[in-house]
Amino acid sequence: MKRRMTFRQWSANNPFISAFLHNKKAIVGLGIMVFFVVVAIFGPLIFPYSPEIDYANYLAKPSWQHPLGTDGLGRDVFRQLIAGTNDVLLVAVLTATITISIGVTLGLVSGLVGGFVDRLIMLIVNVFLTIPSLPVFLILAALFTVNDPLSFALILSIFNWAGLTRAIRSQIISLRERDFIQICKVMDMSTIHIIFKELMPNVGSYILINFILVMKNAITGSVGIMFLGLAAFEPTNWGAILITAKDFGALFIPAARIWLLAPIACIFSFQFGIILLSSGLDEALNPRLRKA
């Protein structure tokens, strides 16, 4: 009879999990990200946000009723931030998903098929890597009305996939010549098997880390677009709160300090979590960096 394993035993046997659990950076980073996900899901239920305008109460100081004070129109800043978390996370995750799907697919095809297809894909990749991305983002955001997370994510993905495609391709090419893949080919195993059972486990960690890093780029990009006021999006999005505060003149008004600084603090702490998690994962998954 199979003995039940406790979590502790299981994690001690799995080298990746144990390396991950012993890496403080990764744990802290994961904790921060889980915190934001929980806030995005349950926050609006506990602290519902109402966009009602209350002129009498504008730029109120922090109190029990308004933990971070109110904005220039008397709306609660704390609840606005919570309501915005969902959109920020959604844009980030969608962008990462789209970017990774395109990058991994094209990288695999380019690396495995080779020849003309490879050269064509690499040409397109090089073109996209050279065209400066931010100006094009801004134009796209201004031309197409961006009002839902998906179109936002599509615009942000256009310029993120190219670098990833190139990196995946070079990894696939170096793996392709290794013995275990050659053996699979000799044994006439299907391409599906080679891709999903042999190649994917080897590039999986790389893809996971990039997923997280693309999320960071997506947040930087989306907040930037919001900041220039080029997207007609929910006024609760962090970038939108920031630009509303700046346009209101929060830079001059001492009472508006928290209104201006709170979204920056949110963006900073979320990205801080992303970077800690990605570098922790890198240390845990990458045998070269793993501390003995």
Tell whether residue 207 is a contact of another protein (CB under 8 A). Answer: no
Cα(284)–Cα(261) distance, integer angstroms:
34
* N- to C-terminal Cα separation, the chain: 35
Asked if residues 156 and 222 have their Cβ atoms less than 8 Å apart, the reply is: yes
Cα(87)–Cα(39) distance, integer angstroms:
12
Q: Using CA atoms in the order 184, 190, 191, 192, what is the torsion angle rounded to 10 degrees?
A: -120
- CB nearer to another protein: pick between 199 and 281: 281
Asked if residues 138 and 225 have their Cβ atoms less than 8 Å apart, the reply is: yes
Contact range with another protein by CB under 8 A, out of 4-12, 70-78, 178-186, 266-274:
266-274
Q: Which two tokens stand for residue 27?
A: 């744990």
x-or-dash string of contact with another protein, 268-287, rule CB under 8 A? xx-xx-xxx--x--------
What are the φ/ψ torsions at residue 70 (nearest 5 degrees)?
-125, 165
- Among the listed residues 87, 86, 54, the one whose alpha carbon sits nearest the alpha carbon of residue 70: 54
- CB nearer to another protein: pick between 184 and 246: 246
Instruction: State in angstroms the smallest separation of the CB of 207 from another protein.
Output: 20
Q: Which two tokens stand for residue 20?
A: 């991950």
Asked if residues 260 and 246 have their Cβ atoms less than 8 Å apart, the reply is: yes
Cα(105)–Cα(263) distance, integer angstroms:
36
| Placement of tokens 């690499």 in the chain | 122
- CB nearer to another protein: pick between 5 and 251: 251
- CB nearer to another protein: pick between 113 and 289: 289
- CB nearer to another protein: pick between 199 and 280: 280
Among 90, 93, 167, 264, binds another protein (CB under 8 A): 264
* Amino acid in the structure at residue 24: K
Site for another protein in 75-134 (CB under 8 A): 123, 126-127, 130-134
CA within 13 Å, CB half, 263: 31
- CB nearer to another protein: pick between 107 and 273: 273
Tell whether residue 230 is a contact of another protein (CB under 8 A). Answer: yes
Among 53, 117, 139, 183, binds another protein (CB under 8 A): 139
Tell whether residue 151 is a contact of another protein (CB under 8 A). Answer: no
- CB nearer to another protein: pick between 164 and 223: 223
Tell whether residue 173 is a contact of another protein (CB under 8 A). Answer: no
Contact range with another protein by CB under 8 A, out of 64-72, 136-144, 171-179, 182-190:
136-144
Cα(245)–Cα(243) distance, integer angstroms:
5
Among 220, 234, 235, 255, binds another protein (CB under 8 A): 220
**Interface residues toward another protein, by CB under 8 A:** 123, 126-127, 130-136, 138-139, 142-143, 219-220, 223-224, 227-230, 242, 246, 251-252, 260, 264, 267-269, 271-272, 274-276, 279
